[in-house]
Amino acid sequence: MQRTIADATEALDALPGISDEQRRAGQAEIAAAKAAATTLANEMADRHTIEIGDQRQAWLTELCDVRDALAALRAEGDLGRISAAEYETQLRELQARQRHAERSVATVEHTLAFVAVVEDDPLAYGESLLAKFPGTRPTFSF
């Protein structure tokens, strides 16, 4: 029968009159399901970590580039080397780049927070996936 690990543990504990051998077999099934759920959670965390590692650095680099461009624009404006209209156009473009990069960094940081939760208790996260997606639940013999 397909169940979550918690349901399987509860069902095994509630079975009346089973032999020690049957209980050990049930516990082995539960241990295997826990190992599979933990592996799944760790693999998800690893994939997310790899995906966002480079993205985070790229967006932080973009923010530094925007900062430098804003400083250069200010210097150009202070020296009167560009018109007010050109200054305003460039400023708007840089502000748009900055907002986009800041939103992207926030998304990456949100994903990093998710990874931290998964890494903190991979079994609990794996179990939560089983609860959310019934078709992924392991089959137990009891």
State the average pLDDT over residues 82-87: 96
pTM above 0.85, yes or no: no
SS3 state of residue 19 = coil
Contact 48/115 with Cβ under 8 angstroms? yes
Contact 124/12 with Cβ under 8 angstroms? no
What would the pLDDT profile of 68-80 be if each residue is shown by its tens digit? 999 999 999 999 9
SS3 state of residue 107 = helix
List the domain boundaries for the chain: 5-132
User: Which pLDDT score, from 0 to 100, does residue 56 have?
Assistant: 84
Please name which of 136, 61, 55 lies closest in space to residue 98, comparing C-alpha atoms: 61
User: What percentage of the chain exceeds 70 in pLDDT?
Assistant: 100
